[in-house]
C-alpha cells in the first residue's frame, strides 16, 4: 500500500484483459486514482456500466452537479473521466442513468474508503503506509504441521470506548494485541472489516469489497492494526463474502439499471433467506472484481488469509430454494462458482505465497481442501459436522449421554478426508442459541465444568482451533453486535478461571507437537477407550507421527469423564509403563474446579484396550485430564 502507486492506463488492451479474465487486479484500472495528465494534477475515474445510457461523476469537487463531469464511454462497456478539480479526501459517487431510464447515484465498487454509515459516498484516497513486517511476510505459511489457534473478533463490538462508539483501528491494535498474546492465540480472525451499510449484518452484507469500514478509521489505520499484530507475532485473517451482496440501491445491485454483478434470473441470482443478490460467476468482469478484492486484502493490507463465507451457498444451485435451474449436465452444482473458487485459490496462492484460504463449507462436497484442478484448492475447511455433533452431545443431560456416545467419536471416521478447522464461531452464540456455557446442562457449577471439559476436548482433538470472542471467559450472555463485550464479567472468578484454562490449553497446544503435527494423519490420534457408553468415559492418545530422528514421537493421553459422577481408580490403558505426569486437569482449582487429587501415576502391567499397561486414575466429575509419559520406573536394585 504505497503513495507512489501508478494506475494502469485506460487503454483497449487493459480493458480487454479485464473482459477476458486476465487482469487479476482490476482495481489498478478502475475506481478513483489521483494522477497527473499532461502535467495537470487531478483524479481519474473509471467504472464498468455496459447497460448505462449516461454516467457522470459527482462529488465535493463539482457541488454534486451531474452536468460538470460526464464520463466518456470506452470499449467493452467501461466509462472514464479525468477531473482536475478533484482531490484526495473528497467524497464522490457515479451518477448512472441506467437501461431502465432511472438515474441513481452509486458508490464506487472499487473505492478504498467510504463515509461512515448511514452516508454512502465513496472517498478519493491515495493510500500510504510504511510497513515494518517484512520478516513476518517472508515467513508466513498455512502451516499444516504448525499450531493455529484463532481468536474470532467482531471489530465493532469486541470493545467500545466510554461513549459507546467504535475504537479506532490503532487503539484496537494495542488492546487486542495485548489480549491475544496473553491468552496465547496464534491468529485473530476479524469480521465486520469490509465496508457495509447495516450493523446488524455483522459485516456479511458488503458494499465496499476494497475498503476497510470507516467506522473504525482510515485504510492506514487498518494497516496499522495488521502491522502491529504481525509485530506481536499474531497472524490476521479476515472474513470475505464472495457469495452474495445486499440490495441497497447505492451499492452493486442493478448497478447500471439492469442485472450486472448478479445473475439475471432470480432462481439463480437471489437469496430469499438473506434478501441478497448472488454474484454472476459466469461473467469475467465479476470474477475479476472478486479476485481483485481478495488480492487487495492479502497483498496491499498484508492480511494472512481469508475465511470465505457461505461456500455451500455458492456451490449448489438448489441451496435453500425450491425453484432452481440445473447446470448443463442436469446437476445441482453451480459449475461457474466451482470454477471461480478454483481460480481464486490458484491465483492467491501464486501471487501471495504463504496465504491461507479457509472455506466455511457445511456439506460433504468432495475435495474442498484438495489441490486444484481436481479439488477446490482451499487450505482448510471449517469442521461443521464436528461442531454440530459435539455441541449436540454436550447439550444433553449427562444421564442421556450414553445414548449419544459416538457423536464424540464419529469425527475420527472422516477427519483426514479434509484439512479441518474446529470452529466455534459467532453463529453459535446468537439468535437465542445462548452462549456456549449456557448451552451446557446442570447448575452454574456443572455448566462451567461441562464447558471446561468441552474446551479441553476441542483443543486435544485433531484440527486447527477457532473460538469466538467472549467464549474464552465463558460469557453467559448472548453476543450483541451493538455493544462491547461484558468485560466486567471477565474479571469475576468463575469467568477468569475459564480464561486461564484457555490460556493453558493454547500454551500446551503450541508447545507440544503431538497436539498439532498429526492433525491430518491417521496415526495422529489413537482411541484407547471409545466404547464405554455406560460411564461416558473417553480416552485417546495424540501422537507426533514423525520419526524420532526428525523430532517426532512425542505423545500424550487425554481422558474425559463426562458425567457428574466421581470415578476413583478408573483403569485407562497406556502404551508404556513407568511414571506419568498430569499436564492439565480441567478440575483444577485455578480453573474453577474442585481440585481433585490424583493417586499414583505409575502405570501398572496388565494392559487393556490393546495397550500394554494401565493407569488407575481418579476421574473428577465432568472433567478432562491430559497426561504425558515421563519415564520408566527404575527397578529397586537400581535405586
- Known catalytic residues are 309, 360
Q: Is 629 exposed, middle or buried, given 0-12, 13-18 or 19+ CB atoms closer than 10 A?
A: buried
If one counts every other C-beta atom within 10 angstroms of the C-beta of residue 581, the result is 12
User: CA separation (Å) from 267 to 43, 161, 249, 315, 323?
Assistant: 40, 44, 21, 14, 6
> Is 118 exposed, middle or buried, given 0-12, 13-18 or 19+ CB atoms closer than 10 A?
exposed
Report the alpha-carbon distance of residue 300 to residue 67 in Å, rounded: 35
Q: Which residues of 232-267 are buried (b: 16+ CB within 10 A; e: fewer)?
A: eebbbbbbbbbbbbbbbebbbbbbbbebbbbbeeee
User: Taking a C-beta distance cutoff of 8 angstroms, is the pair 630, 579 a contact?
Assistant: yes
Per-residue burial over 283-308, b if 16 or more Cβ lie within 10 Å, else e, is bbbbbbbbbbbbbbbbebbbbbbbbb
Distance, in Å, from the CA atom of 462 to the CA atom of 441, rounded to the nearest integer, reads 26
Residue 85: Cβ-neighbour burial (10 angstroms; 0-12, 13-18, 19+): middle
Stretch (H or E) spanning 270? strand 270-271
Nearest CA to 96 among 260, 321, 323? 260
Amino acid at each position: 500500500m504505497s503513495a507512489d502507486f501508478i494506475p494502469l492506463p485506460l487503454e483497449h488492451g487493459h480493458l480487454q484483459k479485464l473482459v477476458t479474465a486476465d487482469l487479476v487486479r482490476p482495481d489498478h484500472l478502475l475506481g478513483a486514482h489521483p494522477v497527473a495528465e499532461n502535467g495537470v494534477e487531478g483524479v481519474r475515474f473509471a467504472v464498468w456500466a455496459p447497460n448505462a445510457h449516461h454516467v457522470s461523476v459527482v462529488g465535493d469537487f463539482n457541488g454534486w452537479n451531474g452536468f460538470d463531469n460526464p464520463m466518456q464511454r470506452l470499449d467493452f462497456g467501461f466509462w472514464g473521466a479525468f477531473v482536475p478539480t478533484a482531490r484526495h479526501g473528497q467524497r464522490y459517487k457515479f451518477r448512472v442513468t441506467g437501461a431502465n431510464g432511472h438515474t441513481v447515484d452509486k458508490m464506487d465498487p472499487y473505492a478504498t474508503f467510504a463515509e461512515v454509515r448511514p452516508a454512502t459516498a465513496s472517498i478519493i484516497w491515495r493510500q500510504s503506509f510504511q510497513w515494518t513486517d517484512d520478516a513476518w511476510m517472508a515467513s508466513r505459511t498455512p502451516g499444516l504441521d504448525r499450531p493455529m489457534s484463532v481468536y474470532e473478533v467482531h471489530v465493532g463490538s469486541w470493545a467500545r470506548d466510554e461513549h459507546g462508539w467504535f475504537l479506532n483501528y490503532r487503539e484496537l491494535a494495542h488492546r487486542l494485541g495485548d489480549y491475544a498474546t496473553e491468552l496465547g492465540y496464534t491468529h485473530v480472525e476479524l469480521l465486520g472489516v469490509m465496508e457495509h451499510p447495516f450493523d446488524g449484518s455483522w459485516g456479511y452484507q458488503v458494499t465496499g469489497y476494497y475498503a476497510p469500514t470507516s467506522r473504525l478509521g482510515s485504510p492506514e489505520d487498518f494497516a496499522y492494526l495488521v502491522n502491529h499484530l504481525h509485530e506481536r507475532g499474531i497472524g490476521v485473517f479476515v472474513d470475505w463474502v464472495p457469495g452474495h451482496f445486499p440490495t441497497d440501491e447505492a451499492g452493486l445491485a442493478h448497478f447500471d439499471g439492469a442485472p450486472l454483478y448478479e445473475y439475471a434470473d432470480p432462481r439463480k441470482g437471489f437469496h430469499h433467506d438473506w434478501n441478497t443478490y448472488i454474484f454472476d460467476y459466469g461473467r469475467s468482469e465479476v470474477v475479476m472484481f472478486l479476485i481483485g478484492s481478495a488480492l487487495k486484502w492479502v497483498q496491499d493490507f498484508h492480511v494472512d488469509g481469508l475465511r470465505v463465507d457461505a461456500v455451500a451457498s455458492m456451490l449448489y444451485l438448489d441451496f435453500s430454494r425450491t425453484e432452481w435451474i440445473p447446470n448443463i449436465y442436469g446437476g445441482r452444482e453451480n459449475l461457474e462458482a466451482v470454477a471461480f473458487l478454483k481460480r481464486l485459490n490458484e491465483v492467491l496462492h501464486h501471487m501471495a505465497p504463504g496465504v491461507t484460504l479457509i472455506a466455511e463449507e457445511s456439506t460433504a462436497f468432495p475435495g474442498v481442501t484438495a489441490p486444484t484442478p481436481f479439488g477446490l484448492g482451499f487450505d482448510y475447511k471449517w469442521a461443521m459436522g464436528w461442531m454440530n455433533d459435539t455441541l449436540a452431545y454436550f447439550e444433553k443431560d449427562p444421564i442421556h449421554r450414553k445414548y449419544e456416545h459416538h457423536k464424540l467419536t464419529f469425527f475420527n471416521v472422516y477427519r483426514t478426508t479434509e484439512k479441518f478447522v474446529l470452529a466455534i464461531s459467532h453463529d453459535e452464540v446468537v439468535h437465542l442459541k445462548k452462549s456456549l456455557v449456557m448451552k451446557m446442562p446442570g447448575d452454574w457449577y456443572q455448566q462451567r465444568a461441562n464447558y471446561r471439559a468441552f474446551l479441553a476436548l476441542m483443543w486435544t482433538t485433531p484440527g486447527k482451533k477457532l473460538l469466538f470472542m467472549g467464549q474464552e471467559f465463558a460469557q453467559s450472555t448472548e453476543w450483541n453486535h451493538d455493544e462491547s463485550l461484558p468485560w466486567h464479567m471477565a474479571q469475576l472468578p468463575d469467568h477468569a478461571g475459564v480464561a486461564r484454562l484457555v490460556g493453558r490449553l493454547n500454551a500446551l497446544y503450541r508447545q507440544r507437537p503431538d497436539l498439532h503435527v498429526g492433525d491430518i494423519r491417521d496415526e495422529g490420534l489413537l482411541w484407547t477407550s471409545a466404547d464405554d457408553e455406560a460411564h461416558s468415559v473417553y480416552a485417546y492418545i495424540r501422537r507426533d507421527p514423525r520419526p524420532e530422528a526428525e523430532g517426532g514421537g512425542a505423545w500424550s493421553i487425554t481422558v474425559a469423564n463426562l458425567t457428574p459422577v466421581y470415578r476413583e481408580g478408573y483403569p485407562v490403558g497406556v502404551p508404556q509403563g513407568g511414571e506419568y505426569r498430569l499436564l492439565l486437569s480441567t478440575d483444577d482449582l485455578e480453573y474453577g474446579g474442585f481440585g481433585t487429587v490424583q493417586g499414583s501415576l505409575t502405570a501398572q502391567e496388565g494392559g487393556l484396550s490393546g495397550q500394554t499397561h494401565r493407569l488407575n486414575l481418579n476421574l473428577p466429575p465432568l472433567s478432562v485430564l491430559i497426561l504425558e509419559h515421563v519415564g520408566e520406573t527404575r527397578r529397586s536394585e537400581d535405586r
